[in-house]
Structure formats: C-alpha cells, structure tokens
C-alpha cells in the first residue's frame, strides 16, 4: 500500500523530519501517481530497479507491487532510517544509504547489465546525475525519471526548438528520450513552484564518433548559442571543415541535430 498525503505528513512529523530544501526534497503524496510511474516504467517480476532518492518509500512501494526488485538509494540519514524501518524483512528491497553523485555504480550494479532506473529525482541533481549515468553506467539500460518540467523538455528536445541544448545532444548520443507524461505540483509535499515531467530514456548504441571530442565541441558552441557557428567555433572548425561536414557556418547551435554534430566533430581538430 502506497503513502497518501496524510500518511506522508505522519511519517515526517512522527519522526521529527522535514523536507530539506538543500537536497531538493519533494515527496510524492499520491498513490495514483506513483502507481502510474511504476506502470510507465514497464517493470515486473525478474526486473531489477534502482531508485535514486527513495525518500519515504512511496514510489518504492508502487514498484514492489509490480513484482520487481528494488535497490533504493537515499542520502538523507533520517529518511534512510525511516526506510529501514518500513522495509526491514521486506523481500526484494535493498536499501543503500549513499550519495548517488559519488556512489561507486559499477560496484553497486555488479552482476547485472540490464538495470532500470526509476526515480523521482531531486531537482538539484537531476541533470548532472542523468548525464553522468549515460556517460559512465551502461548497466542502466532504461530510465524513467520524474524531473522538473523544464529539465524534462531539455532532455527530450529536438533540434530547432527553444529547449534544445548541450544536454539534449548528450542524451541523443547515448539514448532515445521522450516525455511520456506530466505531473502537477499538487501531488507533492511540499508543493513545488513548478510542474514536473516524466521522461523515458532508452539506451542505444552510440554513433561512431569520439564522445569527448563531440561533447567538447557542443559545449563550446552552446556556450555562445546566440552566435553563428563560424564565430563560436572559430579556431576549432575551419570553413573547409564546415563544408566537408555539410554544415552551414551561419547556423546556430540549436540548428544542428545529432547527425550534423557528429559530422562536424569528425572533421574538426581536437
């Protein structure tokens, strides 16, 4: 049984806890929402799920209802103690008290290569964590993340849109991403000032281009996104290289899709 809003408040007050702004804590307090997330994750018996920011266990409970096994990560000591109390003796739950940004992911996920990340990610770590996991943790083959709506739109943005940026290119290099739903602020405790989005990220084989060179080029260009590429990439990409890549030097960074960025990276100097 998942937590209702009164249940979330009771768990917090009964243990002298409160949401911590510095950790970006906003707890989902709606059973229908966490069950919807678990359903969209498409997990079931035999699947291994890693959940970052397990909080009070609302989503954990919904994931357990599917039959999946859950490795729940929580950095907050008070919340981790609450989770231990709630899940002691519960099959298919492993609690890890750690910071997901500094965790040894290879050690944690050893032995399986088909993990699914399902998480209500704290707003302050969502972007760097997703980027780091895509770059360095191939054992996570799928993600379903609940993030700030603006972040979700950037994760899944296509070239030519206002949300498209360096993060969008990084995600597209490693995976396909799409927004699969939205979650109103009213289901959280405390209520945030923004809406949230559910984003599905499915890992795929990356293009045959060095990611370090590609991402360095993309970051440089988007660091001056208002400028034409001939100016933002001056000294890095020459006019003949633009021609060889089939990219107009008068384009701006948001005009180039992943294929165009890969062609440009392949012709540019390190």
List the domain boundaries for the chain.
5-203, 211-267
Triad 88, 96, 122: Cα angle to 5°? 115
Asked whether 221 and 241 are in contact (CB, 8 A), the reply is no
Q: Beta-strand (E) ranges in the chain? A: 27-28, 48-52, 69-74, 93-97, 115-120, 140-148, 175-183, 188-189, 196-203
- State whether CATH 1.10.3720.10 applies to domain 211-267: no
Q: Which residues of 159-168 are buried (b: 16+ CB within 10 A; e: fewer)?
A: beeebbbbbb
pLDDT of residue 270 exceeding 60, the answer is no
**Is 21 strand, coil or helix?**
helix
pLDDT of residue 18 exceeding 70, the answer is yes
pLDDT of residue 269 exceeding 70, the answer is no
pLDDT tens digits, 140-174: 999 999 999 999 999 999 999 999 999 999 999 99
Strand partners, 147: 197
Which CATH code for domain 5-203?
3.40.50.150
Count CB neighbours of 216 within 10 A.
15
């Amino acid at each position: 049984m998942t937590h209702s809003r009164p249940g979330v408040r009771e768990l917090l007050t009964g243990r002298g806890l409160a949401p911590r702004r510095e950790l970006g804590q906003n707890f989902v307090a709606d059973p229908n929402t966490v069950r919807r997330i678990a359903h969209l994750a498409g997990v079931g018996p035999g699947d291994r799920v890693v959940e970052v920011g397990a909080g009070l266990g609302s989503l954990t409970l919904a994931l357990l209802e599917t039959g999946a096994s859950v490795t729940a990560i929580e950095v907050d000591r008070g919340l981790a103690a609450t989770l231990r109390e709630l899940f002691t003796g519960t099959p298919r739950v492993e609690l890890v008290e750690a910071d997901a940004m500094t965790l040894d992911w290879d050690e944690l996920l050893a032995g399986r290569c088909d993990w699914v990340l399902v998480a209500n990610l704290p707003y302050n770590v969502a972007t760097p964590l997703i980027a780091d996991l895509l770059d360095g943790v191939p054992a996570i083959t799928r993600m379903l993340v609940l993030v700030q709506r603006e972040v979700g739109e950037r994760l899944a943005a296509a070239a030519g849109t206002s949300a498209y940026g360096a993060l969008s290119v990084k995600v597209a290099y490693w995976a396909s991403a799409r927004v699969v739903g939205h979650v109103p602020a009213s289901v959280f405790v405390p209520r945030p000032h923004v809406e949230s989005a559910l984003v599905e990220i499915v890992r795929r084989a990356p293009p045959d281009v060095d990611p370090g060179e590609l991402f360095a080029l993309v970051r440089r260009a988007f660091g001056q996104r208002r400028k034409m590429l001939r100016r933002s990439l001056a000294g890095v990409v020459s006019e003949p290289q633009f021609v060889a890549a089939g990219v107009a030097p008068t384009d701006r960074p948001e005009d180039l899709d992943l294929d165009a960025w890969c062609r440009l990276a392949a012709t540019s100097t390190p």
